[in-house]
Amino acid sequence: MAKLVHPRRALSTNPLKSSAPLGAALAYLGIEGAIPLFHGSQGCTAFAMVHLVRHFKEAVPLQTTAMNEVSTILGGADQIEEAIENLRKKSAPKFIGIASTALTETRGEDVPGELREIIARRADFADTRIVYASTPDFAGGLEDGWARAVEAIIDALVPEVDPVWHSPELRQVNLLVGSHATPAEIEEMVRMIRAFGLTPIVLPDISTSLDGHVSESWAGTSLGGTALADIEKVAHSAFTLAVGESMRPAARLIEERACVPYRVFQSLTGLKPVDAFVRTLMGLSGVDDAPPSIKRDRSRLLDASLDAHFHIGGLKLAVGADPDLLFALSSTLAGLGAEVVTAVTTSNTNGIVERVPAETVILGDLGDLERAAKEAGAQMLITNAHGRHAAHALHLPLIRAGFPIFDRLGAQDICRVGYRGTRAFLYETANAVQAQHHRARPEDFGAAPISEEFEHVPPTASH
Amino acid sequence: MGDALKQKIQDVFDEPACGQNVNKSEQQRKKGCAKPLTPGAAAGGCAFDGAKIALQPIVDVAHLVHAPLACEGNGWDNRGASSSGSQLYRTGFTTDMTELDIVMGHGEKKLFRAIREVIEAHAPPAVFVYSTCVPALIGDDIDAVCKAAAEKFGTPCIPVNAPGYVGSKNLGNKLAGEALLDHVIGTIEPEECTPYDVNIVGDYNLSGELWQVKPLLDRLGIRILGSITGDARYRQVAMAHRARVTMLVCSKALITLARKLEERYGIPFFEGSFYGISDTSDAIRTLCRMLVERGADPDLLERCEALIAEEEAKIWAELETLRPRVEGRRVLLYTGGHKSWSVVSALQELGMEVIGTSVRKATDDDKDRVKEIMGDDKHMFENMAPKEMYRLLKDAEADVLMSGGRSQFVALKAKMPWVDVNQEKHEPYAGYMGMVDMVRAIDRAVNNPMWADLRAPAPWEEDTGPVRVMPELRGTCPVSGVSNDAVDFEDC
C-alpha cells in the first residue's frame, strides 16, 4: 500500500497537472453539439484552448465569460447570460457546459442559483441544455474536473426513475470512462462490449468528437460525442461499467437516480483487470463463453507477456500521471516484474493512489519526478510530453502517457486498454528498453580493457 | 486592483507617441485601447499571458508565476522563443496556490518561500514574479514581497503586475514594459559603450527570427546591446539605457517603453519591421542613419547601402527560382497589423495574387498602405468568421491560407494548404533570408501532391455502375461468434 506524501515546499517546478476546468472542458467536448464555457477571465480559456489544440491537433470550441475586474467584484451572472446568448446566436450549440475557474470561485458566486434563474427567465434558451460544474483551479487537477463535469451532466440530464417502474433494456449498458481514456481506448472498450452483443452508451464519448477526422462542414461546436437523447436513455440501462476509480461517484449517482447497478473497473490495462471486465461482460450477456476474437486477443496477450517479461522484469520505472492512469500503467508493469521506484501524481482526492505499487506516491510536479527518479536510479520515465525536459536531463527513455502530448502525432490513437491495448503497451515498453543501446565492455565488469598491442593498426596511406 | 496598478494602466493607455491614441478624445483615451470583451465571443490571451510573452524570452532568469495551477500549469513551455544559452526560462515555476493558501491568506508567505527556493536551486541573475487574478483579488502585495526578498537574498526580484482580468494580451505587453522600466533598465552599466549599440524592442526571437537579422547587423558592426527581449540575458536588458538608438519592431504595445527610453535616457526610436524585403532594407537604413546622427562614423551609411544592394540582389535571384512554383497562386492572408501589407508586396512581386488581407489590429497608416499596394480596399477586411473563411476555402476561391494557428484547422479541414505566419510558427520568416523560407513554405504547402488525392472522391462516392447480386451472408461472425444474418453482422 502506497503512502501519499506532500513535499514540504512552496515552489512548484514544471507542473505535472493540468487544471480542473480543462478536464471539465474535455468531458464536455464528449457531448454532441457542445461548447464548453469557462466562467473566468479570457486568459483561462486561451491557455486551456492552446493546451487542448496542441494535444489533439484539432480546432477546439472553447469559450469564456470574459470576466473583468468590475464583473468579478459585482458578480458574473450577466456575463454568463450574455455568453450563452452570443454562443447560441453564433453556433447554435445543443449543449453548453460551464466550468468555473479560480477567479470566480475565489469571489464565491452562487452560479447554480443564478443559472436556474437565467434558465427559468429565458425561455428562448430552452433548446440548449446548460450544465454547470464547480471546478476551481486551486483544487485538484484534470481528472477531478472531468469527474465533476460528468457528475454535473448526469445530475442535469439523466431523469429520475421510480424503482417501481424500472424496467431496464437488458442489452444496454452504460460505459462511464475516466479522463485518461483516449478516443482509441474508448473504441476498444466499445468493441469488446459489442462483441458480447451488448449496446453501450458511452459517457462522455470523445471517441467520436476528438478522434481526428475531416467532416463535411464547419461547425463551431464539438463534432461528435454522446447524443443528448442517449444521455436520457442512461436511466434505462441494465448496468453501468465505470472505468477508473474517479468515475465511482458518477456511477453511484446513476444508481441513485435510476437504480442502475454499477461496477467500477479501477483499470482496464493488464491481464487480470481485463479478465475481470470480460467476466462481467459474460455475466451481463448471459453467456459462459467469450467470443472468438476476445479469446484470441487474450491468448496473444499471454504470448506478448512471455516475450516482454525479459525486458520489463526488474525495470526501474518513474511514473508521473493523474491517479487513475498512474495506477493503471504502474500496476500493469509491476505485474510483469517492473519496480516503480518513483510515482508522482496530481490529486489527493482519488483513493486509488493507495493501491499504486510503490512505497510512496508524491503529490507533486515534474521537478519532483526528475529529482526522485535520479535518486532512485530509474531506467525509464512514463509521463506526459512535458517529461521531455527530465528525460533529456537524465538521459532516459520517455514513454509519453496522459495529457498533454504535444510533441508526437496521434495522441488520440494510443490504446493501452483491453487485451489488445495491454499487448501494445507491453511491446511499447519492451521496445523502449531495447532502443537503449548498451554494448557490454570489459570495464563494466571490472576487467581491464584489452591491451592495445593486440590491435591491428592499418598502415597509413603513403600516396 | 490596487491604486498603483490602476494608475499604471491609465498611464500606459495615454500614449502620446501612438498616432491612434493622439487622435482620440479625452474620454476615449481614458477607456484605453483595449476593446471591451464580449462574453461568449472573446478570443485571445489575458494581460498575464501578454506579460509572460513579452518577458519570458529573457532566458537566464527564473519566471515565477504566483497563481493557482492553471496560469502556469496550462501554459508553460508553449512558445517558441529561442535561446542561445540558458534554458532556465523554459522551466515552469509556480506557487501552485491551493484552496488553503487562499482561504488562510498564506499567499504572500508562500511566494516569499518560493522565491527563496528558486534562488537556492538555480542562482538566477533575477527572479521575475508574475501576479495573476487570484492573488490580486485577495490582495497579495507582490511588490512588497519582491522588495523584501531582494533585500534578503541579494537577487533582484522583479514584480510584474498584470493579473489576467485587467485586460488583454496587449495591455499585458505594456505592463511588462513598465516592469522593465521601473525595475530593470538602468540598473547595470555596460563595461564599454560603442556608437554602434542599439536596442531591439518587441522581437522575441521566435524560432530564431532575431538570428535571421543579426548577421546583417554583425556585418555592419552594430551591436544589440539591449534586447527586449529576444534571446536576452538579464544584464542586457538592464543595460538598455546606454544604447544609441532603439528600433521598435512591429509593436504598438511596447511603444510606451520606447518613448520612455527616449525621455529618460535620450535614446531616439523608430518603428520598423523585418518582415518583407523592402521593410528589412528600410529598417536597416533607418537604423544606420540614426546611429550616424548620434555619432557613428558616417561611412556606416555607405556600408549599409552596399550591404542592402548586395543582399537584395542575392535574395531576389533566389526568389526568382521559386517564381514558377508559386506564380498565379491565390493567397488569403489573415494576420493583421503591420503584416497585413508588409508581406503582400513581396508576394505580389512573385506573381502571387493576394485575394484578401485582414486589417485587424492595423493602424490607419497600415490600412493606407494596403490600399496603396492592392489598388483599392476591396480586398481588405476586418474579421472573418471561421465559417465564412471555411466556405471561401472550400469553394476554392483561394489556394492557400496564411494565418496564425487559430485558423489553422479552418483551412486544413477544408482540405486547403495552410502556412503559419504568426508567433507560434516553427519556422522563422524574418529578414531577407526569412522571405525565401516563407516562399519555400508556400511552395511546399500548395504543391504537395497530397491535396489532389485527398480531394478525390472515396470509392463509394464514385459511379460504380451496376452492382453484382450476391447470395445472402452465411456462416459465423468471426468476432462475436454469433451465427450471421444481415442484421447481426452489423453489430459485430
Residue B179 and residue B58 share a domain: yes
Residue A261 and residue A309 share a domain: no
Query: Which amino acid, B322?
Result: L
Please give the biggest Cα pair distance in chain B. Answer: 94
Residue A321 and residue A373 share a domain: yes
Residue B69 and residue B19 share a domain: yes
Residue A387 and residue A270 share a domain: no
Per the domain annotation, does B103 fall within a domain?
yes
The domain boundary residue, chosen from B183, B215, B245: B183
Q: For A13, which of B46, B91, B491 is closest by C-beta distance?
A: B91
CATH number at residue B211: 3.40.50.12380
Residue A305 and residue A274 share a domain: no
Which residues share a beta bridge with B403? B334, B420
CATH number at residue A98: 3.40.50.1980
Contacts of residue B104, Cβ cutoff 8 Å, sequence gap at least 6: none
Residue B9 and residue B140 share a domain: yes
Residue B132 and residue B13 share a domain: yes
Per the domain annotation, does A8 fall within a domain?
no
Residue B312 and residue B331 share a domain: no
Residue B211 and residue B141 share a domain: no
Q: For B69, which of A65, A137, A289 is closest by C-beta distance?
A: A137
Using only the alpha carbons of chain B, give its radius of gyration.
Answer: 27
Nearest-angstrom CA–CA distance, B78 and B4: 31
State which H helix or E strand residue A49 sits in.
Answer: helix A42-56
Per the domain annotation, does B77 fall within a domain?
yes
Per the domain annotation, does A31 fall within a domain?
yes
Q: Work out the pLDDT band at B477, boundaries 50, 70, 90.
A: confident
Per the domain annotation, does A462 fall within a domain?
no
- Assigned C-alpha cell, B378: 476591396
Task: Judge whether residue B136 has pLDDT over 70.
Answer: yes
Nearest-angstrom CA–CA distance, B222 and B332: 37
Q: How far is A232 from chain B (nearest CA, A)?
A: 22
Complex ipTM value: 0.91
Contact A220 B386 (CB under 8 A): yes
Residue B201 and residue B147 share a domain: no
Per the domain annotation, does B322 fall within a domain?
no
Q: Which of A392-406, B40-54, B452-466 is the most confident on average?
A: A392-406
Residue B116 and residue B20 share a domain: yes
Residue A274 and residue A330 share a domain: no
Nearest-angstrom CA–CA distance, A288 and A281: 10
Q: How far is CA A108 from CA A105, A112, A163, in A?
A: 5, 12, 37
Nearest-angstrom CA–CA distance, B74 and B70: 5
- The tens place of each residue's pLDDT in chain A, 463 residues long, gives 799 999 989 999 999 999 999 999 999 999 999 999 999 988 899 999 989 999 999 999 999 999 988 888 888 899 999 999 999 999 999 999 999 999 899 888 899 999 999 999 999 999 999 999 999 999 899 999 999 999 999 999 999 998 888 889 999 999 999 999 999 999 999 999 999 999 999 999 999 999 999 988 888 899 999 999 999 999 999 999 999 999 999 999 999 999 999 999 999 999 999 999 999 999 999 999 999 999 999 999 999 999 999 999 999 999 999 999 999 999 999 999 999 999 999 999 999 999 999 999 999 999 999 999 999 999 999 999 999 999 999 999 999 999 999 999 999 999 999 999 999 999 999 999 999 888 888 988 999 988 999 999 888 877 6
Q: Work out the pLDDT band at B484, boundaries 50, 70, 90.
A: low
Q: Which of chain A's residues have a Cβ under 8 Å away from the Cβ of B76?
A: 14-15, 386
Q: Work out the pLDDT band at B9, boundaries 50, 70, 90.
A: confident
Contact B137 A90 (CB under 8 A): no
Residue B294 and residue B241 share a domain: yes
Residue A287 and residue A249 share a domain: yes
Per the domain annotation, does B478 fall within a domain?
no
**Residue B175 · residue B8 · CB < 8 Å:** yes
State which H helix or E strand residue A398 sits in.
Answer: strand A398-400
Q: Considering chain B, what percentage of its residues have pLDDT values greater than 90?
A: 59
**Count of domains forming chain B:** 3
Nearest-angstrom CA–CA distance, B66 and B132: 7
Task: Tell me the per-residue pLDDT of B379-404, one tens digit each, with 9 for 90 and over.
Answer: 777 778 888 888 888 887 889 999 88
Residue A66 and residue A39 share a domain: yes
Contact A291 B479 (CB under 8 A): yes
Nearest-angstrom CA–CA distance, B285 and B278: 10
Residue A421 and residue A306 share a domain: yes
Q: What's the distance, CA A400 to chain centroid? A: 13
The domain boundary residue, chosen from B124, B149, B183: B183
Can you give the residue range of the structural domain that contains A411? 298-434
The domain boundary residue, chosen from B424, B452, B475: B424
Can you give the residue range of the structural domain that contains B228? 197-316
Going edge to edge, which strands form the sheet with A34-39? A63-64, A34-39, A95-100, A129-133
Q: Which of chain A's residues have a Cβ under 8 Å away from the Cβ of B165?
A: 41, 67-69, 72, 103
Residue A405 and residue A302 share a domain: yes
Per the domain annotation, does A13 fall within a domain?
no
Per the domain annotation, does A336 fall within a domain?
yes
Residue A409 and residue A371 share a domain: yes
Per the domain annotation, does A328 fall within a domain?
yes
A contact residues 69-108, partner B, Cβ 8 Å cutoff: 69, 72, 79-80, 82-87, 90, 101-103, 106-107
Per the domain annotation, does A67 fall within a domain?
yes
The domain boundary residue, chosen from A87, A105, A139: A139
- Assigned C-alpha cell, A437: 543501446
Per the domain annotation, does B447 fall within a domain?
no
Q: Which of chain A's residues have a Cβ under 8 Å away from the Cβ of B415?
A: 214
Nearest-angstrom CA–CA distance, B332 and B334: 6
The domain boundary residue, chosen from A139, A172, A187: A139
Q: How far is B413 from chain A (nearest CA, A)?
A: 6
Residue B156 and residue B111 share a domain: yes
Residue A83 and residue A33 share a domain: yes
Residue A397 and residue A287 share a domain: no
**Count of domains forming chain A:** 3
Q: Which of chain A's residues have a Cβ under 8 Å away from the Cβ of B109?
A: 10
Closest by alpha carbon to B234, among B176, B197, B188, B179? Answer: B188
CATH number at residue B383: 3.40.50.1980
Per the domain annotation, does A441 fall within a domain?
no
Per the domain annotation, does B36 fall within a domain?
no
Contact B134 A102 (CB under 8 A): yes
In chain B, what is the straight-line distance between the N-terminal and C-terminal CA atoms, in Å?
61
A223 touches chain B (CB under 8 A): no
Q: Which of chain B's residues have a Cβ under 8 Å away from the Cβ of A67?
A: 165
Per the domain annotation, does B436 fall within a domain?
no
Contact A66 B110 (CB under 8 A): no
Task: Tell me the per-residue pLDDT of B57-101, one tens digit each, with 9 for 90 and over.
Answer: 999 999 999 999 889 988 888 888 999 999 999 999 999 999 989
Residue B154 and residue B205 share a domain: no
Per the domain annotation, does B367 fall within a domain?
yes
Contacts of residue A339, Cβ cutoff 8 Å, sequence gap at least 6: A314, A315, A316, A317
Residue B85 and residue B201 share a domain: no
Q: Work out the pLDDT band at B489, boundaries 50, 70, 90.
A: very low
Nearest-angstrom CA–CA distance, A243 and A280: 13
